[in-house]
Structure formats: structure tokens, C-alpha cells
Chain A
Amino acid sequence: MFALLLQVIANGLLIGSIYGLAALGLTLVWGIMDVVNLAHGEFILVGAYLCYWLFAGWGISPLVSFALSIPLGVLFGWLVHVVLIRQVVGKPALTTLLLTFGLSILLNNLMLNIFTPDVRMIRWSQQSILVGPLVLPSTRLIAFGIVLLLTAALYLFLERTYPGRGIRALMQDAEAAAALGVNTARILLLSFVIGTIFAVVAGALVSVVLPFEPASALPLAIVAFVVVVVGGLGRPLGAMLGGILVGTVESFTGTFISQAYAPATVSFLLILFLLVRPAGLFGTTVR
């Protein structure tokens, strides 16, 4: 029983860290721009399908695709920001939500047409590492390592570099930051691009550890929203811890109740948090 419990926690931690990475992208964009990207689930799938397409069609190792998903994220994020998001920054929530809702429908149905509704999964490395009673699949461990690496990189970027400080300044007080000479337009573009990179990379990682299809966009997006709410809006560290919490809850539900109820449990968790502690575990302010 104890071994099973440990295994469930380990599964939750490994999957949850990927949720955390996906949510990092969302929390940055949401926290800084006050734009909630309802197409975030589709952004994640862009990475997943890139990885799948390269692997199934050309036999390219997912490790290469993980690296390739970064420039793809830059390009995709830049394009979406310049064409769409830039026009609605500062507009009411109704406008930004409906715009990204339209984008999500467009992208999702494009994926349905290009990649068909079939469920995909990359059968890449089937080995597992045994640690005591625990079975840890190597793909999940690799994904976990990449998550840690990217999170550390983001942390250093936000703490140590000039544009990173600009992002934090904007998160605290956009007007004051602009008055002190922060190039707001550029920082907004930068945050959206970083947010997209994290979503796309998270998607590439998803493709080697979980089965996915175009219809996965919605549950993935919901998980990312829950993680943002649990972790507190605009808090990168909170998003990572929230991701692990959500992953663990999902893992517990899947093991001890039924896999079928895992999405519903995540939904309940979201509603519970919104009602009881809308600022999240680590947040202090409520918008």
C-alpha cells in the first residue's frame, strides 16, 4: 500500500510538472497582459503535433523536436501577438476571451483536418528506471528534467536580465513601469512569446508521456487554468507547485476512484479554489 502511494505521488509529480510548465506560459500572459488565452490548449497541442509529425513521418527523435519547439514557439507566439493579441490588450475581458475563443476554434478544427481526430502517442522509449519499489518511465524523467531546466532558465531570466525585470515591473504596476521608461509594447510581445514557447514545449513533452488528440485541447487548457488559479495569478513558482498538486490530485483520482473521473475532479478543484481561495495558494491579491 505504501509503495502504491509513493508510486501515485511520483506519477503525479512527473505529469504535474509538465502541467506546471504549460501553466507557466498562461500565468505570464494572464498576469502581465490581463489577457486570458482560451486557445492555450491548442498552443500546447501545436508542440505535441510537431513532435508527433517529426517522429512518425521522419523518424526524428523527440529530443530534437523538444529543441525545435522553442523556435516554433517564438514564431507562432510572435505571429499571434502581432496579428491578434496586440489589438485587444487592455480591452474588457469579454473581448479578449471571445477573440481567443475564436482562435481556439480555428486552430482546433485546423488540427482536426490536418491530423484527423485519431488519438496519438509517441512510442519512443519504453524503458523504465526502478528506484526501490518505484517504477519511473524514462520518458517522464527526461520530461521532468527539461521542465526543471526551463523553469530555472525562466527564473534566472526574470531575476537577472533587464527585459526580465521589465516583465516583473509590468506585473506589479504597468503604468508606473511605463512612466519609468519600460518599453511596454516590447515587454508585452516578449511575455506573449515566452508564454507561447512554454506552451509549445509543454506540448512536445506531453506527446511522449500522454496520449493526445485535437479534443485534448480543452482538458489541457482547463488543467492549465486550474494550475494558474491554484498557484496564484502571475506567480511562476506558484504555477510549478500548483501543477504538481493538480497532477497528484489527478493521479490519486485515477488510481483510487476511476480514470474517467479525473477531469471532473480537476474541474471541482478549480471551482473549489475560485470559491474558497481565489488568490490561490501562493497569491496575496485578488483581481
Chain B
Amino acid sequence: MTLLALCARPTPIALLLAFAVMALIPLARNPELNGYFLTLLDLMLLTYSLNMVVGFSGYLSFGHIVFWGLGGYTAGMLVTTIGRAIAGELTFSPYLLVPLGGLVASAFAAVIAYPILRIRGAYFAIATFSVNLAVQTIFFNVPVFGGAEGLPLKRFMSYQIVPAFYWLLAFGLLAFLSSYLILRIKLGYGLLAILNDEDVAQTMGVNTTLYKILIYIIAAFFAGAGGAVWALAQVFVDPENFGITRSIEMFVAMLLGGVGTTLGPFIGAFIYFAIKDLLIIRFPHLHLVFFGGIIMIIVLFVPGGLVGALRQHVPGLRRILE
């Protein structure tokens, strides 16, 4: 009941409606449209995950893509192992493996969280960078994981985009609701204290270590689940799943929407795609150059992104946008 009461506010209601409308998209039976929104939802889910760490705790998780890649490889490895064991196509929907992708990513986060979250600021950012690089190198070179060739899954499952779409939609909604709830429970207040001043928070008796580790594990789950869906939707996974492009995209989307807000990743993903579509037509190869510029402009002039800027300049929206 309390959960319902919490959701009776403009932001969650609007987003629930938006997700409901998006659920109608596959009814148009347009494969191109499905593919477009699959990519958008994937980015949105990743951005929600990134925002939980960067936006809520202020820890700059630069290697965040590692969880997405691990989720993808978990799904890939499971499908090929089971497929080889039964010598043929999977007899159940491979998408049932998606939560396992999230769990493996969470488990990895849990293992590295304690040592890595003791490091702060730039050191943390670079350490997460290196973790991703090290993991990518391992997947690139160890034969079990298919090496540079990756793991083709075509022999064991068929290409199905509509279930992938609904899985991502469901996880996107879950990621939004989780973000919204986290900010309203003790965990959220603890993270806010860490964001403002970790030393002060610690002195005041906030269990900063626990909160940091918790949010890291939760965020990793969503990124891992997203990566698993993506691998299954592509029927393929390779070391590029740890690549830099998705990393850049999620940072741009998060900054465009508004760091630390629950509406930001949703709006950010849409703006990112709108800008990308505009740029790709005119500058097919230069669009990432522009995104580099966009990041700098946002950081220098609009650090709150769209949601932050609206909240700051339109007082009436402050209570509505969260």
C-alpha cells in the first residue's frame, strides 16, 4: 500500500503511462521500429544502472560496461553449454536465462566492490576503467569464451526480437521503480550523504561502505540483465560487448537527461537517439565527435541536464520532475 502511495505522484504516473504506450510498439509488426526501440531500451536500462552509481553516490563508474558484457557472456555461455548438452535448439525460451546474467554481474560487483569502493574520485574512475580492460582482455584471449570471434548462438536458438523487447521494457520499468524507491528509503539517504561528503557521513555514523556496496550490486544487476537480453537478441556475443561505444552512449544519455534524477535516464535515452538520428544523416562518421562536444558543453553550462535545468529555471516543475 505504501508502495502505491509513493507512486501516486506525477513522475511515476507519467513514466508508467509512457512504458504502457511503448508496450504497444510491437503490435505495429514493424521489425525496423522494434529494432530501433530495442536499442533505445537497452541504452535506457544501462543508463539507469549507471545513474544509480554515478548519480546517487557520486562514484564515477567509468568501466560500468563490464557488467553489461558479463551479463551478455553469461547468457551466451549458458545457451551454448545447454545447447551442446542437448545437441540442438533450446527447448525453452533462452530469455529465461536473462535474470542469471544480472545475477552473475551482481556477483562480480560484490566481489570487486569492497576493495574497489575504498578508492575515491579519479582513482576509482581509473580503477573501474582498468577492471573493464582486464576483463575484456581475458574474454578476448581465453578460448572457452570464443576469443576474438565471440560466441555465435544461432545453432542453439532462433532470432526473436519481440520477446527481447518486452524483457528490456520490463527491466527498464523495474530499474526506474527501483531508482525511485531507493531514493526514498534509508539506502537513498545514505547515498545522498556520501554524495555530499563521505567523510562527514562516516563521522555521523552512516554505514557508507554498506550503502556503496549495495548500490553497486543493484546497479550491476540491471546492467547485466540488459547485456544478457542484448546478446540473445543479437544471437551473438563477442569482446566488443565490453567496448567503448556503449560506454560513451550511456554517459551522454545520463548527462543529457540529468545526473541523479529518476526521470533523467528515460528522457536522456530519447534525446540521445533524437540527436544521434539527426547527426548520423548529416555526418555519418563524425557523430561521436559531436557527442564529445556535447558532453563538454553539458558539463560546463548545463550540469543538471534537461531535468536539472527545468527544475532550476521553472519553479513550478520542481515538485513534478524527480
Contact = CB atoms under 8 A, between A and B. Distances in A.
B16 to A, nearest CB: 31
Interface string B94-124: 0000000000000000000001101111110
A172 B125 CA distance: 24
Interface string A96-117: 1111011111111110110000
A7 B292 CA distance: 42
A1 interface: no
B296 A264 contact: no
Nearest to A105: B292
A223 to B, nearest CB: 11
Contacts, number: 117
Given A102-B296, A104-B292, A271 B123 contact: no
Main secondary structure of the interface of A (DSSP, over half): helix
A130 B316 CA distance: 77
A222 B299 contact: no
A113 B289 contact: yes
Contacts of B300: 84, 87-88, 99
A84 B129 CA distance: 23
A93 B121 contact: yes
B134 A267 contact: yes
Contacts of B255: 98
A260 B140 contact: yes
A131 interface: no
Interface in B40-92: 54, 58, 60, 62
Interface string B217-257: 00000000000000000000000000010001001000100
Contact of B119 (A88, A104, A274): A274
B137 to A, nearest CB: 4
Interface string A68-97: 000000000000000010011000111111
Given A94-B60, A99-B300, A271-B127, A264 B134 contact: yes
Contacts of A112: 285
B123 A113 contact: no
A225 B293 CA distance: 24
A80 to B, nearest CB: 11
B320 interface: no
Contact of B295 (A101, A108, A218): A101
Most chain A CB inside 10 Å of its own CB: which residue of B60, B122, B285, B286:
B122
A264 B126 contact: no
B308 to A, nearest CB: 14
Most chain B CB inside 10 Å of its own CB: which residue of A103, A104, A106, A266:
A106
21 contacts: A36-B122, A36-B125, A36-B126, A87-B300, A94-B58, A98-B299, A99-B295, A99-B300, A102-B296, A109-B292, A113-B286, A225-B126, A229-B123, A260-B137, A260-B140, A261-B141, A267-B133, A270-B130, A271-B116, A271-B127, A274-B119
Given A93-B125, A98-B299, 15 more contacts: A36-B122, A36-B125, A97-B60, A98-B60, A99-B296, A102-B294, A104-B292, A105-B291, A106-B293, A222-B133, A264-B133, A271-B127, A274-B119, A278-B119, A287-B121
Interface of B: 54, 58, 60, 62, 115-116, 118-123, 125-127, 129-131, 133-134, 137-138, 140-141, 244, 248, 251, 255, 285-286, 288-289, 291-296, 299-300, 303
Top 7 closest A-B pairs, CB basis?
Answer: A106-B292, A102-B295, A105-B292, A267-B130, A264-B137, A102-B296, A36-B122
